[in-house]
Each structure stands twice: as structure tokens, then as C-alpha cells.
Structure 1
Amino acid sequence: MAGAGKRILFIQTQAENAGAQEISRLLARELEARGHDARHLFFYRKTDGFDRMAKTLILCHKRPGNPIAFLRFCLALIRAIRAIRPDIVFTFQHFGNVFGAPAARLAGVRCIVANQVSARETIHPLVRLLDRFIGQTPVYSRITINSHNLMGDYENFPQAYRRKLVLVPHGFEDKALDLGKRAARERLGLAADKPLLGTVARLNEGKQIDRAIGLLTHRADWHLAIAGQGPDLERLQTITRALGLTDRVHFLGERAQSEIGLVLAALDVFVFPTRAETFGLAAVEAGQAGVPIVANDLPVLREVLAVDGEACAVLVDVNDEAAFAKAVETILANPALARQMSERACGLKRKYSLSAMVDAYEAMVLNETRDLVLQIKSAIVS
């Protein structure tokens, strides 16, 4: 690292174990190891996923529910950022960007990098419009994009916004365990001798986990393990009961990042029926862990789940229930194909290197803060 370490603040909407939170967790850990002072700030607590994380501030126990509570939250946010006195702020997710970045600017922070990690389909049009406006002002110093596909979503934005865009693909932590399926299933309380499908996701309707549950109606011996929590949980449990599948659908709840490898080690196939993604971190982690993937055929997944131009997942229209089930059945019935997919997916670790992602973020930390110092010195001389 060149020069003195910087104080870095990662701002996000909700504290829980999910993809964007995993990226900021990895970045904070690795940047701390390089001599920086990295901290987290969450708007509100969703789960206990970050309760024991060092250097973490959670402003509210729950999401502000009325205008007065929101105003108090905004004032508390500005005060908290001012008290931390970061050299640079990285905001994540659409609400983290449009609320966190202006608050950081009002708190006196001059270097703010917005991270676009939400698919366009998941963002309210008014929030997207607000982000478009803020991005043309000095509030955002830079804006990161995590895939070429997502970059295309901004091609019609004004030049003042687009010139701030920088492509930084997600890096990830290898979650593969040296543990057999039988041992992993025993630790999770799952049947050792049944074909086991599984997924890891925040449970919202956009993840389309109901499509994965529907797969079990095609084969009486298939089981499904679902690791995650979220607002769609009750609906998914209702669907499971209505289909008479309570003995074959296993809701594992939210799992700490240290336990994701255990879940993946238990699976025969990782299913990823999501409606929209900007990257698909959970599928990348599954592929690197050696689990064959059957995923929704989205342009971004064609980009991300490929190594050297070769697909390392079976992509299918998950709205075609029969085709989705057939793709899973093909993987289960063809060990050679499953092995080929798994071996190819091992290259994802090289393609999405954790160190490369951290290098890119550290470069932003050092370059943005250095440029600010030069601007201040120039203004003083003038």
C-alpha cells in the first residue's frame, strides 16, 4: 500500500447476510489487512448477520416507518458519518446510494463511490430517476458497475453520469469444503440418499424460489434445500404446504457466510431461478465449490457463468417448468456432464479474483483521496 492507510466507510441499506453485504465484508477485511481502517454502517437491522461484526454501526433496529422517523434517521445518518470522519465512502444498493451518498456529502465527505449492485427491474422508477440526477452532480465521485451486462443498462444515461462509471467485477471467497456430501447432509439434518437440489438466496419474489419448489412435483424422490431468509418466506412455505411437499422442502434459514460452504457441499445441483441479477454471486460461489448449476437463462448469467467462452452452467427458461425439470434431470442422470460443468466452473476463481477486486477498490481509495488533496492544494495556491 502506498502512503498512510485511509479510513473507509461502507454504507448499505440493511444488515443481513446477502450478496452486496458479502462484497463489502470481503472488501473491509482485505483492506484492513492492507493497513486501512474499514468500517460498516447500515441503515437498519434486518437479521443478526452483522451483530457481532467489529467496526459496524447499525442506525435503526427496523426500517423507518413514517416521515418523522425518516427525518430523524436522516439526521442521525449525517451525524454518524460526521463522527466517523471517513476519508472515502462506498455506498451500496440503490437506497444506500441515493440516501447514503448525499448524507455523506452533507457530513463533509468529499470522496464518495456509489456501487450499482441492484438489477434495474428491482429499482422503483422514481429511485432510478433520483440516482440518475445525483450521478450528474458532484455527489458521486465514481460509480462502480459489476458486469458488462449491467453497464449496458446505463448506455442511455447522460454523459455526466456515464463518465464516472468504472467496471469492477465482483471477486469472491472460495467456499469449497473438503467434506463429502453424506457428512455435510448429516450436519444439516438432510437425507443422505436422496437427490438434493438447493439454492442460497435472499427470499424475495424476484428470486423465484417458487419455481425451484415446483421442480419437486416432477420427481417424487427429489429434495430441495433453501438457505436464506426474506419477505417471501411465508408465501414459499404456503406453496410448499399446498403442494404437499413439507417433507421434501427444507428451509435452512439464514446461514452465516462461514456456513455457506457446508450447504453447497451437501448439494447435487444448485438451482438459480432468479428473475434478475447484476452478477449472480451465489451461483458463482456454488460453481467454484464444484456444484453443477442450473440457472435461469439471463444475459448477465451467460456473461458471468462462463469461463474462456465456455458455459459452466446449464441455462434454461425457468418459466418453462418442464424444461427446467428436464435440465436438472439431465445433470443428475449424467455424471460426466456434471463433472464437466464443475471442472469448468473452477476457472471462476481466476476470472473473478478476490485480490483483483480489492486492488481496484484500493486504487479508488488512493487515487480519489490523492486527487482531492491535489485539488485542495491547487485551490490554496490559487
Structure 2
Amino acid sequence: MLHYTPSTDLREAPTASGIGPKAGKPKLRVMLVQTQAENAGAQEISRLVGAGLAARGYEVANLFFFRRSASFDEPPNTFYCADSRPGNPLALLRMLWTLAGHIRTIRPDVVLTFQHFGNVIGGAVSSLVSRAPVIANQVSSAMSMSWPVRVADIVMGSVGFFQCITLNSQAMEREYARYPAPYRARMKHVPHGFDDKSHGLSKEEARRQFKLPPDHVLLGCAARLHPHKQLDAAIRLLANEPSWQLALAGQGADEPRLRALADQLKVSGRLHFIGEIPPRQMADFLACLDVFVFPTQAETFGLAAVEAASAGIPCVVNDLPVLREVLSFEGKPTAIFVDASDQAAFSAAVAKVLTDQTLRDALRQSAKGLRSRYSLDGMIEEYVQILDAAVTRGAQ
């Protein structure tokens, strides 16, 4: 299956430095390989990387194994290998055959793969049908991989299927420190950049857009509806606080369980499933909120919380080492950290943010620094250097 949708939004994305392929040289053709097409954190990073590279003069193609979400906001030059996740071995073989065909047709100079299946499958197939160097973007915790995928990743990263393996946080570097030395030698820390999600709408206008109640305390989260996101902890906040409401932006297989929990707690009338929203509407969603809650059990960066904090929304997040790392600026926290599995403590932290204006002001002031700490242009520049080095090395 071949699908292409032109768009000028990303092709015209601005860049501060304007660094790219040297004048007079052919444009490098870069292919970004991602597992599934949906509006989630890993896809947002590949979207931003692709837009930044295109703005600097690279030819960028985006390749997805399959479409997961009908509302996916696809970038320009997007190709799919299957309409949906393969459900049997024959469908998987068709998908792999189409993947190989797209790579042969696009003939990339360098391949960027994302997520563990994107790295393992995309890296393997690309190495079979192309001489382009592969850069693996590792945004999956090793503990979230099944053992066959983890073994494949270790072997491929150690023997040279990947020329470089980018990690997005120091916490990830510590986790992968147990990997073999040849794997570690290829690792490079590239902090996420992000689009500014500061909002222009008033709270009243934003809530009207999403059909949310105008006059209640509104908590919110943007995340895939998956058990690892621990969104049941956010729903339980409503049980003892009848004035609070909760809006969840995202899609996923955990939705029926979350709805059943809301029915059981008798809070369904105060729980709002917004569904998946494209990146261009995230600022409007954040503008609706009084507090952004992020009870996730596992993260490698926590992009949604960084975006919310930077947009000036007070954040209460699960106390994970990686979130303490990324949600700080010059040693000052940009969010409140709490054990989200402790319902009383989680509720108390949200209540404190709602009632303490001084605390909210301090969090917003610290969070302003996240824009410079996680500069989008800085991230793109890191990838420009990695890609150019990979192509130069491959030509030797």
C-alpha cells in the first residue's frame, strides 16, 4: 500500500540555524521508519525531526508499518506498509515485503528508525535491501520489550546494524549501561526538543471548543490509554472530590477498563474522553486545564508533561527518576512529584496546586526554562551532525 499526502505546514517549518546539506551538493534522502501511525509522543518526535530536516534542505520520507489511528496527523511524504496491524503470519510477510519494496523505491541515503519494533524490524529489513546507514532512536525502556525483541536489539546494536543509537534522557543511559560495550559505544544522548504548546485561547473558549464544562475544576492528561499510563489513578481522584472533573486526550485499548472503573466509582458524568487529538490542537486542549496530571508508571522522557509545564499548566506527576530529571530547570522543579499510587497523597498534591497561588507561580516561572533546555533547533542540529557523520562514514 502506498499513500502520500502533501502538506506545506511541516515543509515550511522554521529553523534558527539553517544548517543542512552544503550548497552545490545533492540533497540527502532521509527515511524515518516508525512502527504505527498515531498521535503519540514517539510519533511527535519523528514528526518534529522530519520537519526540521526538511526545512534544512533534506529530502524526507516517513514510513509507517501500519496505521493505528484514523485521525493521525500525517506529515508530508508519508507511506504505509499495511492498513492495520498484521493479524497473522501471512499478513506480516506482506507487510515486510511492502516495507522492503518502499525502501528500494525511496533509496534513502540514511535511515532513522523509531521505537523498539521500528528499530529491530526496520533496521533488519533496511540492512537487507539497502546500504544506507541506520540510526536507531531508542525511546523504549528495555523492561517494556519482550525478551526476543530485547535480544534482537542487543545483538543488532552490538554487531553494527545500527551505526548510532540515540537515547533521550540520562535515565535511559543509566538503564542501558548494562548493555554490551559495543552497544554502549554507539549510544548518544540527544535530548528531545518540542513545539511550544503555549495557548492563545482563553480557558472559556478552549473548553467550549472541546465541549467541556466551563465552570468546574478540570484536571487533564494527554496520553495513550494504556495500563502503563496508570490513568485509573487519575480517575480515582474524582471519587472524593465532587467538584473536580477529568479530561483524557488519547486513544488505546485500555479505554473500556477505564470507563468501567468510572462507572464503578460513580464518576462517569465527570470523566471526559476527548479521543486522540492532532499536535496542532494540543495547545487548545492544554488551555482547558487547571492542572495536568501524569500518573504514568514508566517513561523514557515524558514529553506530554514537559509540553504542559512549558505551556504554563501546573503539573502533578508520578515520582519517577526520569521525570525528576526532565521536569527541572537549573535545579528547580517545574512540577510537583508524588507517588501516584498513593491516592490520598496524589489528591492532596493536586489540591495544594489548586489552592496555592505562590506555588503555581513558582512552577510556571521555573518551567519557562524548559524551552531553552529542550530546544527544538538544538535537537535538529544534533541529528544533522549524526546523519552527516553516518553518511560520510558509509562513503569511506
Unaligned runs of 5+ in 1: 376-382
Greater displacement, 257-266 / 63-72? 63-72
d(CA) in 1 for partners of 2:57, 2:72? 22
In the alignment, which residue of structure 1 is the partner of 2:155?
133
Q: Deviations over 1:161-183 (max 9, x none)?
A: 11000000100000111222122
1:151-300 matches, within 5 Å, as: 151-300=173-322
Q: Say which of 104, 120, 145 aligns to 2:142.
A: 120
Unaligned runs of 5+ in 2: 1-19
Q: Deviations over 1:15-62 (max 9, x none)?
A: 000001000101111111111111110001101244653200011111
What TM-score does the superposition give when structure 1 sets the normalisation length?
A: 0.96
In the alignment, which residue of structure 1 is the partner of 2:368?
346
In the alignment, which residue of structure 1 is the partner of 2:334?
312
2:47–2:75 CA contact under 8 A, matched in 1: no
In the alignment, which residue of structure 2 is the partner of 1:380?
none
d(CA) in 1 for partners of 2:345, 2:214? 27
In the alignment, which residue of structure 2 is the partner of 1:329?
351
1:121–1:276 CA contact under 8 A, matched in 2: no
1:270–1:291 CA contact under 8 A, matched in 2: yes
Is 1:57 matched with 2:72?
no
2:21–2:28 CA contact under 8 A, matched in 1: no
d(CA) in 2 for partners of 1:52, 1:239? 33
1:50–1:56 CA contact under 8 A, matched in 2: no
In the alignment, which residue of structure 2 is the partner of 1:92?
114
Tell me the amino acid that sits aligned with residue 192 of structure 2. Answer: H
In the alignment, which residue of structure 1 is the partner of 2:377?
355
Identity of aligned residues (%): 45
Is 1:364 matched with 2:393?
no
Tell me the amino acid that sits aligned with residue 151 of structure 1. Answer: E
d(CA) in 2 for partners of 1:71, 1:151? 34
Q: Deviations over 1:40-92 (max 9, x none)?
A: 10001101244653200011111111122212222221111111101110000
Q: Deviations over 1:272-300 (max 9, x none)?
A: 00000000000000001000000000000
SS of residue paired to 2:48? helix
Tell me the amino acid that sits aligned with residue 257 of structure 1. Answer: P
How many Å apart are 1:244 and its aligned residue? 1.3
| Alignment RMSD (CA, Å) | 1.1
d(CA) in 1 for partners of 2:305, 2:319? 13
How many Å apart are 1:125 and its aligned residue? 2.2
Is 1:145 matched with 2:167?
yes
Is 1:103 matched with 2:125?
yes
How many Å apart are 1:2 and its aligned residue? 4.0
What TM-score does the superposition give when structure 2 sets the normalisation length?
A: 0.92
2:247–2:271 CA contact under 8 A, matched in 1: yes
Greater displacement, 72-81 / 139-148? 72-81
d(CA) in 1 for partners of 2:130, 2:143? 33
Q: Deviations over 1:292-333 (max 9, x none)?
A: 000000000010000001111100001111000000000001
In the alignment, which residue of structure 2 is the partner of 1:378?
none
1:15–1:49 CA contact under 8 A, matched in 2: no
2:72–2:278 CA contact under 8 A, matched in 1: no
1:12-23 matches, within 5 Å, as: 12-23=34-45
d(CA) in 1 for partners of 2:21, 2:37? 32
